[in-house]
């Protein structure tokens, strides 16, 4: 479905002095992997590990410095925007910040049908989507700030599903939510992936969350994939010391829930 080969991305910072060289930030240093159709691919790493850069490249919102990305066998890293139409409807993103990713000046119905552009028949589709993500039917008339964090993320998911994509990228989609709401949204995502037969790319700094949702996981550190494999294998038998660190450091969802019940 998605094939990534030797991907690098180097950002050049603005020069700090007139004659000084522009400092470079190597956000990705040669990343390769394949995502199978229907797969649930997790990407784990701490902030600054290059996860977001990778997401932007996968969605063709940014261009790689070198390497290639193919989507259903077609190179997308070299195509001009006007020829990316197929990708724009097939691949959608749910972002981290449930408020920042929704335009405060737009009604929910306009947000959800934005990916459809000026295509007709939006009204029924919005109603369908609101129902699919478990929001009240009258939500469409309201504005994002009238909703809670979890509900906003549902709006975001509804928007992503609007063009009937085959790939859904969740970029830290549950990180800003508190534990209980996080569990609900994770359930919703799992349910929707099943129901609409989606390929899921789930990006998180939390290995426990990835384990719950994904079958394959790539562990990233400093712009490189340090470990890649079936999620249970990686979790039960981590080979890279960094992965071990991550597993030890991350509080598990179950643990957090247990603490919540005790307290």
Q: Which residues neighbour 110 within 8 Å (Cβ) at sequence distance 6 or greater?
A: none
Q: Does residue 89 bind another protein (CB under 8 A)?
A: yes
Smallest distance from the beta carbon of 259 to another protein, in angstroms? 28
x/- mask, another protein, residues 101-120, rule CB under 8 A, reads xxxxxx---xx--xx-x---
Q: Does residue 249 bind another protein (CB under 8 A)?
A: no
Smallest distance from the beta carbon of 159 to another protein, in angstroms? 7
Token pair belonging to 251: 């509080």
x/- mask, another protein, residues 125-154, rule CB under 8 A, reads --------------------xx--------
Write out the H or E segment, with its range, that includes residue 202: strand 199-204
Q: Do residues 125 and 116 make contact, with C-beta atoms less than 8 angstroms apart? A: yes
Size of the site for another protein (CB under 8 A): 33
Positions 155 through 184 that interact with another protein (CB under 8 A) = 156, 159, 162-163
**Phi and psi angles of residue 41, each rounded to the nearest 5 degrees, phi first:** -100, 120
Smallest distance from the beta carbon of 146 to another protein, in angstroms? 6
Nearest 10 degrees: Cα torsion 199, 201, 202, 204 = 170
Smallest distance from the beta carbon of 240 to another protein, in angstroms? 31
Smallest distance from the beta carbon of 68 to another protein, in angstroms? 20
Task: Output the CA–CA distances (angstroms, integers) from residue 139 to 1, 122, 145, 147, 181, in the order listed.
Answer: 34, 15, 12, 9, 19
Residue 103 and residue 145: Cα distance in Å, rounded?
10
Q: Which stretch binds another protein (CB under 8 A): 18-26, 39-47, 83-91, 240-248?
A: 83-91
């Amino acid at each position: 479905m998605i094939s990534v080969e030797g991907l690098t991305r180097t950002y050049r910072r603005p020069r700090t002095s007139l004659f000084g060289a522009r400092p470079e930030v190597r956000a990705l240093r040669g990343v390769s992997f394949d995502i199978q159709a229907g797969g649930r691919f997790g990407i784990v790493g701490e902030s600054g590990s290059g996860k977001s850069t990778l997401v932007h490249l996968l969605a063709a919102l940014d261009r790689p410095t070198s390497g290639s990305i193919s989507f259903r066998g077609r190179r997308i890293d070299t195509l001009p925007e006007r020829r990316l139409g197929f990708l724009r409807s097939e691949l959608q993103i749910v972002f981290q910040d449930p408020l920042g990713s929704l335009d405060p000046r737009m009604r929910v119905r306009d947000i959800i049908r934005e990916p459809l552009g000026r295509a007709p028949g939006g009204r029924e589709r919005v109603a369908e989507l609101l129902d699919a993500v478990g929001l009240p039917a009258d939500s469409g008339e309201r504005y994002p700030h009238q909703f809670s964090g979890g509900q906003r993320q549902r709006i975001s998911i509804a928007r992503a599903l609007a063009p009937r994509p085959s790939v859904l990228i969740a970029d830290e989609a549950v990180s800003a939510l508190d534990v209980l709401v996080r569990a609900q949204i994770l359930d919703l995502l799992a349910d929707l992936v099943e129901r609409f037969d989606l390929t899921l790319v789930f990006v998180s700094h939390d290995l426990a969350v990835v384990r719950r949702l994904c079958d394959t996981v790539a562990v990233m550190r400093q712009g490189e994939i340090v470990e890649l494999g079936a999620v249970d294998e990686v979790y039960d038998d981590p080979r890279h010391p960094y992965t071990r660190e991550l597993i030890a450091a991350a509080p598990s969802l179950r643990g957090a829930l247990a603490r919540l019940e005790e307290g």
